[in-house]
Amino acid sequence: MYEDKTLICKECGNEFVFTAGEQEFYAEKGFVNEPQRCKACRDARKNALRGERVMHEAVCASCGGVAKVPFEPREDKPVYCSECFAKMKEEQAEE
């Protein structure tokens, strides 16, 4: 039913493909307009609107190592490094 379409990005002027799968997704969501920007320009625009992500350092409550997190750590809540957090999620899934 849908066929890949080649579109021109209004931001950078490069061609990009609006795939049949993407068109089907747009139709399912009720979107009526085709995308006007390529993926790279859409991502750059989203990141510019969101702003730079600030990472904060904290001490991991499990191993004592350095944990970098995208929020301001609080004294009353434990913070875990990526490895310890993943281990905790694994253990919870097994229960």
Mean pLDDT value of segment 14-32: 96
Mean pLDDT value of segment 30-44: 95
Query: What digits encode the pLDDT tens for the residues 59-74?
Result: 999 999 999 998 999 9
56, β-bridge pairs: 69
Residue 22 CA to residue 18 CA, distance in Å, equals: 6
Q: Domain locations in the chain?
A: 5-50, 56-94
Name the percent of the chain lying above pLDDT 70: 100
Q: Which two tokens stand for residue 60?
A: 């991991």
Say which residues have a Cβ less than 8 Å from residue 53's Cβ, sequence separation at least 6.
70
Q: Is the pLDDT of residue 95 over 90?
A: no
Q: Is the pLDDT of residue 43 over 80?
A: yes
Residue 82 CA to residue 58 CA, distance in Å, equals: 12
Mean pLDDT value of segment 76-81: 93
